[in-house]
Structure 1
Amino acid sequence: MKNLSTLLGIFAIIFVTACIEKNSSKETEEITAPKDSLVIDHTLTTENTHNKFSSSIAPVLKVESGAVIEAFTEEASDGQFNLNSTIGALDSLDFEPIHPLTGPVFVEDAKPGDVLKVTLHKIELGGWGWNAILPGFGFLADTIDTKYLKLYELGAEREEVQFNDDISIKLNPFPGVMGVAPDTSELLNTIPPRANGGNMDDPNMTEGTIMYFPVFVEGGLFSIGDGHAVQGLGEVCGTAIECPLRIVYEIELLKDKSIPEPQYETNDYYATTGFATTIDEAAKKATLYMVNYLKSEQGLSTEEAYALCSLQGDLQIAEVVDLPNMLVTMHMPKSVLN
């Protein structure tokens, strides 16, 4: 009987342990459930596009704070290329339709001085993409004057592409252009980054990233597009793998936050951005904005914030080819913040 009691006790311990492990596993699954399970409130297609930034462009959708939007975006040439294009297509490329953006979206009660929080919950690749070198365009345009076009088959399940026989590249889809309307009725082209966001071309602004945009006009008027399958920081030849995307994002209105230019965060860091006509000035702005963030949001003194930027802040060149402006960011690891 003693042995039987001992045996039953062991079985009981095993059973309880198994139940605990099962429940723990279930909790983990629930916590890490994909954000694409969010209920989509609105869908915008590639019929809902424009390619300028202006307060005069009428919204295609009005939403309340917290809306989840599914947006389909066109590739940057707006249909001037396809999988059968040859290098000759570069000669007839028209820059006027460049950057078709899906939107604008008007957020109820958004006023100048507020902030729009945009969470990029899901980013899926379209079926194909292209990468090109255009004569006269790119960081080394005065040194490398050549033409190049490479086409890629993509798709929602694609994780990498073959660059050549020896090199494969892991994909990291993200929208190159995101932004709100500036406070002008002038139709501004989308090529350079600005205070409203725009063509930031930062590969850190990918799935899971939370974006913050200052509001300049009533409703904010948020737009998104210029899908990239993969791109390095700087986008030095002038193009990424340009592609269509399906993006599921959540847009929220913040009344208790104020910023001069876009900022963003991930699970690992908080980031500020600075645009300017030179790398030096853009880097100074990004650093100053981080100092101000550390003071206002983290309670540091000016001296502490400036010193911490030197010890833990990482300046990154996001964009150098979209003249007249360039974009620099500063990343601050959340591991050093409370």
Structure 2
Amino acid sequence: MCQGDDPSCPEFGLHYEALKRDLASERRSFLKSSFVAAGGLAGLAAGGMSLVTPALAQATAAKAPATRKHHYLPANADTVHWGYFSKTLKPRVECDSGDIVTIETLTHHANDDAERMVQGDEGAESVFLWTKDKKGVDRRGAGPTDPKVYKKGSGEGQGVHVMTGPVYVRGAEPGDVLEVRILDCAPRACANPAFKGKSFGSNAAAWWGYHYNDMLGGQKREVVTIYEVDASGAKSWAQAVYNFKWVPQTDPFGVEHATIDYPGVPVDHSKTARNFDVLKGVRIPIRPHFGTLGLAPAEVDFVDTIPPNWVGGNIDNWRIGKGATMYYPVAVEGGLLSVGDPHASQGDSELCGTAIECSLTGVFQLILHKKADLAGTPLEELNYPMLETKDEWLVHGFSFANYLKELGSDAQSAIYGKSSVDLAMRDAFRKMRHFLMTTQKLTEDEAVSLMSIAVDFGVTQVVDGNWGVHAIVKKDLFAGRV
């Protein structure tokens, strides 16, 4: 049943109005929690335990329109861009600071089982359409689009995520900070009547996974596991349905794919051997989140979605879900926020190459903090994507903080051979040191001691070209200061 998330539903208008009423109620609860609004919509200042100070919240609120609008951005062939961020893209939605945007996102792995993840879904069918004559979305990646040059397909698969957007935030300029509150995040229901009430996702243990060159007996294989998720949210866990070994697939244009080397290739299951006796009795906790969420970088026109960088992107942190807030430095006019790579669940490291790649619908509130108002606040020197939850702050370290700038003209290819956990750990350490010294006014010696005894460092992912390490600090460490 449409819950305000299916524009093709005849009663979509009524259902979406109900969604907005529910959202308003949820937002009131959200603001009454420890994420308390200071100065109205713009604040998250909870007794000094937020990156948004009361003064900043008030300054931001003063610049926002008096009324907020709700926008709905469905996912279809006209609203997505596949495999790249770009400052040249035409916005699909324009909004003001404080507006709420509901955004549908599709997993790029839906064609691993089209029967469960594409069939009957008008939006997904338009995106994944691929016949011998055409593709619904031709370009897939930041690579070449000239048929005389590419070998696998337009975009060459240099970037794989189906991104919905971009969203243009009026007034956003380089040097500003965009606050992105994730108010909701829910699985997209299967549209095939045979699987009513369910949602599905795919996990590919692929050739780019950390495990691939270290398999027992030296064997190398790619194995895809399909998972079932309860679309209603009644069950807090997912379960495996079946798995299969990838075998060469020939796409509708006649190109053979011996490995998973181009996104959206339809899998012909008459060629696979599906094993339904897999992970029996195992329940995987559901942690819906967006693997790839961020702004358009300024350095080049088309940027591969796989490596994350200083304006966000493919961070792949499972904590970037409902109730979390992300802060991004703005690099281009309007910010140009895009959302994709939705996951039903993932562990730290995303070791085999993917999470449970599962289409989701998110509800976001976008709040613009102007550069002129940032002086003296914790966001003044923010030049990396920052995560805040009710209880924690997280910094994201990468092997290269801004690989597009640091690695020169060949950055988008060079990054894949230069990443390491050591480099990512060093970057996370430096960012956390800076965070503690600037926001909590610690000395360097105090910060170093605290990092060793009370900050948790974890491997975010080792599969995205630019590897990631996150550092988590609990807010209640500083409760005695309030």
Q: Is TM (by shorter chain) over 0.5?
A: yes
> What letter corresponds to residue 60 of structure 1 in structure 2?
R
Q: Do the aligned partners of 1:124 and 1:245 also contact (CA within 8 Å) in 2?
A: yes
Conservation of the 8 A alpha-carbon contact between 2:116 and 2:200:
no
Of 445, 449, 452, 1:307 maps to 449
Q: Is the 8 A contact 2:110 2:202 kept in 1?
A: no
Aligned ranges for residues 259-298 of structure 1 at < 5 Å? 259-276=382-399, 277-298=419-440
2:333 maps to which residue?
Answer: 218
Instruction: State the secondary structure of the residue aligned to 1:193.
Output: coil
Please tell me whether the aligned partners of residues 165 and 339 of structure 2 are also in contact (alpha carbons under 8 angstroms): yes
- Please list the CA deviations of residues 221-250 of structure 1 after superposition, one character each: whole Å capped at 9, or x if unmatched: 111111100110011111111111010011
| Aligned residue among 216, 224, 248 for 1:149 | 224
Number of aligned positions between the proteins: 301
Alignment partner of 1:317 is 2:459: yes
TM-score by length of 1: 0.82
Q: Does 1:64 find its partner at 2:64?
A: no
CA–CA separation in structure 2 for the residues paired with 1:188 and 1:81 = 28
Partner of 1:162: 239
TM-score when normalising by structure 2:
0.58
> How far 1:31 moved relative to its partner?
3.9
**Displacement of 1:57 after TM fit?**
1.6
SS in 1 for 2:214: coil
Aligned amino acid, residue 46 of structure 1 = A
Structure 1 CA distance for aligned equivalents of residues 307 and 31 of structure 2: 41
Distance (whole Å) between structure 1 residues aligned to residue 433 and residue 94 of structure 2: 35
Q: One-letter code of the match for 2:348? A: L
1:331 to 472, 476, 479: 472
Matches within 5 A, 1:59-208: 59-77=91-109, 79=111, 81-83=113-115, 95=157, 98-126=160-188, 127-134=199-206, 136-144=207-215, 145-154=220-229, 155-157=231-233, 158-163=235-240, 164-208=279-323
| RMSD (Å) for aligned C-alpha atoms | 2.6
Residues 30 and 80 of structure 1: is their aligned pair in 2 closer, same or farther, counting only changes over 3 Å? closer
Assess, with a 3 A threshold, how the Cα gap between structure 1 residues 98 and 242 changes in structure 2: closer, same or farther: same
Indicate whether 1:42 and 2:71 are aligned. yes
1:24 maps to which residue? none
1:4 paired residue number: none
- Contact persistence 1:78–1:97 (CA under 8 A): no
Q: 1:283-311 CA distances to partner (integer Å, 9 max, x unpaired)?
A: 11112111212222222222222222122
- Unmatched 5+ stretches in structure 1: 1-26, 33-37, 86-91
CA distance in 2, matches of 1:97, 1:303: 41
User: How far apart are the structure 2 equivalents of 1:272 and 1:28?
Assistant: 27
Query: 1:160/1:40 Cα in 2 relative to 1: closer, same or farther (>3 Å)?
Result: farther
Tell me the percent identity: 32
Superposition deviation, residue 79 in structure 1:
4.4
Describe the SS at the equivalent of 1:318.
Answer: strand
Partner of residue 126, structure 2: none
Contact 1:83-1:152 within 8 A present in 2 as well: no
8 Å CA contact 1:54–1:184 kept in 2: the answer is no
CA contact (8 A) 1:77 1:98 kept: no
* Shift, 1:98, TM fit: 2.4
- The alignment partner of 1:205 has SS state of coil
C-alpha distance 226-102 of structure 1, shift in aligned 2 (>3 A):
same
SS of the residue corresponding to residue 453 of structure 2 reads helix
**Offset from partner CA, 1:187-215 (integer Å, 9 cap, x none):** 11111111121111111112111101111
1:69 shift after superposition: 0.6
SS of the aligned residue for 1:280 comes to helix
